[in-house]
Amino acid sequence: MNDEKKYTDSNIEIKQVYTAKDLTDNIIQQPAEFPFTRGIQPDMYRGKLWTMRQYAGFSTAEESNKRYHYLLSQGVSGLSVALDLPTQIGYDSDHELAEGEVGKTGVAIDSLEDMEQLFAGIKLEAVSTSMTINATGFILLALYVALAKKQGADLQKISGTIQNDILKEYAARGTYIYPPKPSMRIITDIFEWCSKELPKWNTISISGYHIREAGSTAVQEIAFTLSNGKAYVQAAQAKGLDINVFGKRLSFFFNSHNNLFEEVAKFRAARTMWAKMMKELGATDEKAMMLRFHTQTGGSTLTAQQPLNNISRVTIQTLAAVLGGTQSLHTNGYDEALSLPTEEAARIALRTQQIVAYESGVADTVDPLAGSYFIESLTKEIEEKVTILIEQIDAIGGSVSAIEQGFIQNEIAKSAYEYQQKIETKKKIIVGVNQFTVEKEEPVPPFKIDDSIRLTQIEKLKALKAKRDNAKINQCLESIAIAATGQTNLMPLVIEAVENYCTLGEIADALRKVFGEYK
């Protein structure tokens, strides 16, 4: 008999056998019943499959547009836009700090002109679009709205998501511009404006994904994400917004890793805890208590060694997300530890979702692992550990204070270090990396982005600035700066600015002068 102890990646000890005794005090509710442990729809995927997204965007708007049309032809049901680093931190492609980065991690968007090219031939009313953007999320939303208006779309029907989760940028990812307080003000401006003008839009995707990518455990991912969610809710309530209205437009974004059962239990625990948290914060409408989430398979789990093994990893992670009840899913390409995904890798990633949906049977019944002694016990244990961490954050004064004092960053760094130590001492086996290696790797041709993209964007910017009404531009930028010093909602002014072809960098700079930059 093997007495060696086993643990999940969150250091939860796994017993050799689970029995009915492990289900003490555990009530299995029905799906769509508070606190939604078993899912937020009574029929889940029998009624409607999750939205199959592929995160895509690179080079110029024209090149990305070709990939979007290809993905739509292959069966994706929603677009997910990747934006390059200068766009994410509020610099136009001609800024000196943009050099070497234009079009690399995503598509370069400098103005409404780029947005028009990005979605050429795509009706915004007919597609749900997710944009992974935070510090400049309000500008990208304004560009999307301006384009929808140009298409003659009904804004009441436009659906999608901006990530818009700045707190995790300070804690884990780093693409912030302004200090936390003015950043929170921008976010609540978005909540307020969308609740009236863009009712089907998810105004924030509170993200655990990047917290996990930075090295957190599954327990920390949920604790820090829900704690950030609580901070956004409290900020919106302080502005006088109704939790029952904006609460329905909050969504979440989680990571899915390789420990299948821990990941499924994590998703179930997150739903349970958010429902209880929203009720405590004053929500009375059950729809405002439901945790809706998008999942992406774990980028940090992909290996550059034997990259085809990543197809198996992504399959396990896909199963975990679906068994855990995700509303939307992006699957990574097998080559993403080496470069942006090639068209072949993107197609295999999408086919992985389609095979799970149509061939595996896991979508045929709701919450198929419910009642498993192991899963129910693990869900409860994750919930208990998450509660302890959230209480620690509350004692510090909430997420904003915990980030300002470095608590969250330190906890993530500690977990990342411990995990790396386990790999180096082979307590944790990574196939093809520290065990089952090969002497000679077959090279996988990477997807390359040419540096000449920046020159193309610079020429487009020069031509744009020469033909637009620059007196109107200055007037728009001045209005934004004046509004930023008071309480006026910024969204209508930013929409007017992009409609007049103000650039993303010009708008971001107008606010830098008022808010300053976070160092």
pLDDT in tens, 247-281: 999 999 999 999 999 999 999 999 999 999 999 99
pTM for this predicted structure? 0.93
**Dist CA 334 CA 89 (whole Å):** 28
Per-residue pLDDT, 77: 80
Beta bridge partners of 79: 54, 129
Q: Across the 519 residues of the chain, what is the mean pLDDT of every consecutive 10-residue run?
A: 84 95 76 96 96 85 93 88 96 96 93 97 94 96 98 96 95 93 95 95 95 97 98 94 94 97 98 98 98 97 97 98 97 92 92 98 96 95 98 96 94 97 96 95 82 93 97 98 97 98 98 96
CA 422 to chain centroid, in Å, comes to 28
Residues 404, 190, 387, 269, Cα dihedral to 10°: -140
Per-residue pLDDT, 3: 72
Instruction: Tell me how far CA of residue 385 lies from CA of 10, 63, 121, 269, 392, in angstroms.
Output: 9, 46, 48, 10, 11
Beta-carbon count within 10 A of 397 CB: 11
Per-residue pLDDT, 445: 84
Structure tokens at 210: 């990047």
| DSSP code per residue over 51-102 | EEEEEE--SSHHHHHHHHHHHHHTT-SEEEE-B-HHHHTT--TTSGGGTTTT
Per-residue pLDDT, 53: 87
Per-residue pLDDT, 451: 78
Handedness of CA 49, 50, 54, 57 (dihedral sign): positive
Per-residue pLDDT, 418: 97
**Dist CA 59 CA 450 (whole Å):** 8
Per-residue pLDDT, 148: 98
| Average per-residue pLDDT for the chain | 95
Q: What is the pLDDT of residues 453-486, one digit of tens each?
A: 999 999 999 999 999 999 999 999 999 999 999 9
SS3 per residue for 466-501? HHCCHHHHHHHHHHHHHHHHCCCCCHHHHHHHHHCC
Per-residue pLDDT, 97: 96
Per-residue pLDDT, 2: 63
| DSSP letter (8 states) at residue 328 | E
Per-residue pLDDT, 442: 84
**Dist CA 357 CA 360 (whole Å):** 7
Q: What is the pLDDT of residues 133-184, one digit of tens each?
A: 999 999 999 999 999 999 999 999 999 999 999 999 999 989 999 999 999 9
